[in-house]
Amino acid sequence: MDLRPAARPEPPRPPRRTMRALRDRRDELTSRIALGNQTAVERQHRLGKRTARERLELLLDEGSFVEVDMYRKGTTGASTDGVVAGSGTVDGRRVFVYAQDFTISGGSLGAAHAAKIHKVMDMAMDTGAPIIALNDSGGARIQEGVMALDGYGGIFRRQVAASGIIPQISVVLGPCAGGAAYSPALADFTFMVRETAQMYLTGPDVVQAVSGERVTHDQLGGADVHGGRSGVASFVHDDEETCLADVRYLLSLLPGNNLESPPSCECGPGDDLRPSLADIVPVEPNRPYDIRAVIAELVDDGEFLEVHEGWAGNVVCALARINGEVVGIVGNQPLVLAGVLDTSASQKAARFVRFCDAFNIPLVTLVDVPGFLPGTEQEYGGAIRHGAKLLYAYCEASVPRIQVILRKAYGGAYIVMDSRSIGCDLSLAWPTNEIAVMGAEAAVNVVHRKELAAATDPAELRAVLIAQYADDLMHPYYAAERGLVDDVIDPAQTRSAVSRGLAMLRDKRRRTPARKHGNVPL
């Protein structure tokens, strides 16, 4: 009998480490991360939303995306920690991007999540490339407390540092609540998708608890609210496909950074005549027309990208090309409030002018303005302060600036709409132009008040005085005779005149005094 202890079985040996095994493990892990939690993905699709990676596929050139920090984990315990970040190309041009992943903890932002965003923002600044944010997040990760708030602060600080240096585009494709909403507000352009995107500082529950007002998420901060009432959203779309397609189109009109010129393209000659312009704009100063029809005649192929289309419709701001070169166009819209300037229109145009100036985009201003909107609501709402923003923006702008006066240009509104007195380089006017302190009828009522009161036939005298005032002070060549208008042109020649003016001013350089910064009348 063998009394020796039985031999212990040898423990199983770990599989042999080979490069092939390691690569297979890496590929399996990468695929699993990219695939995501299928239950959460299906829930995202049921909400009418794409996943973060599906959105990046729509936005970027095929196969161009290079991801960073794919394996990074935070308190969620999931790889990526709820945000997909990296770089790719749009039409072959470099951009940096991050897309929040709602399938992982609702896309909530914690320290690791924020650190990834900080990293790509720093890369964008260092390389001089646009940064694009695809927002779809429930907000700060409550479990991380102040660290989540610190993460947001790092994003905001970088956005301010990047302002005017690289283009910043924010796309809201889901919830964007609380402090997170400041990120789209700091961006140069903000896109929103109807029904799925909401943005607000305090949600419906808080609003009801504080004020008793019952409101839905969409009523409080939906795309149409911010596109038409608050002015936070620059563009509003019905679906993600058209939204991201317009982001690509916008990028095609922007330089990579403030040291570059906007991308130009080959197109037809810029000196062609546009005789239909004389038919679009009525000679009668009070008859409305659509300034968009004028813009379509001036720009290449009639194509332009209107910014804030649904907000402050009495002024139109658009990016387009003239003879292949990108321009920013600001025009009064006679179809809305007769084209007057008010608080919202002044803010809208001022921000657009400042953006164009920051990124070397020449400005073309189409003027047909009867003045500022009168009334206590406007005065109490800061009409002076907001109008001063537009005045400041134009005075500060050093890019080529061309003014075209189509019809009315009255009072302070004439000055503010890039007049020669505040530094426009080239002022052109149609034969229909009327530049004056105010309209002839209003001027006569003020200047000849006593004569009219004493007249036996005030109506007849008023008509005579109005005609005399218009002939003496408002005829088409009055401003040109005094050097405030450079040329009175045939409307049909407007496109060619603007094109020649832009070519003449292309190498414009202006030195500004050394200072920390000006004090914009915010």
Residues marked active site are found at: 178-179, 412-413
Which residues have C-beta within 8 Å of that of residue 310, sequence separation ≥ 6?
224, 227, 228, 236
Compute φ and ψ for 228, nearest 5 degrees.
Answer: -115, -20
Taking the C-alpha atoms of residue 426 and residue 164, their distance in angstroms, rounded to an integer, is: 25
SS3 category, 78: coil
Taking the C-alpha atoms of residue 98 and residue 94, their distance in angstroms, rounded to an integer, is: 14
List strand residue ranges (DSSP E) for 21-91, in order. 66-68, 83-90
Helix axes 343-358 and 383-396, enclosed angle (nearest 10): 20
List strand residue ranges (DSSP E) for 104-263, in order. 131-137, 168-177, 189-193, 198-200, 235-237
DSSP per-residue letters across 245-307: HHHHHHHTTS-SSTTSPPPP---S-S----TTHHHHS-SSTT----HHHHHHHHSGGG-EEEE
Taking the C-alpha atoms of residue 58 and residue 406, their distance in angstroms, rounded to an integer, is: 41
Q: What secondary structure letter does DSSP report for 11?
A: P
As given in the structure block, the two tokens for residue 48 are: 């009418």
Taking the C-alpha atoms of residue 418 and residue 401, their distance in angstroms, rounded to an integer, is: 8
Of 161, 95, 164, which is closest to residue 399 (Cα–Cα)?
164
Taking the C-alpha atoms of residue 441 and residue 264, their distance in angstroms, rounded to an integer, is: 46
Taking the C-alpha atoms of residue 249 and residue 306, their distance in angstroms, rounded to an integer, is: 12
Taking the C-alpha atoms of residue 228 and residue 310, their distance in angstroms, rounded to an integer, is: 5
CA atoms within 13 A on the CB side of 90: 25
C-alpha to C-alpha distances, 241 to 48, 50, 187, 247, 374, nearest whole angstrom: 12, 10, 21, 10, 42
Q: Are 68 and 130 in contact (CB under 8 A)?
A: no
Of 260, 250, 254, 253, which is closest to residue 128 (Cα–Cα)?
260
Q: What secondary structure letter does DSSP report for 176?
A: E
Q: Counting Cβ atoms within 10 Å, is residue 287 exposed (0-12), middle (13-18) or buried (19+)?
A: exposed
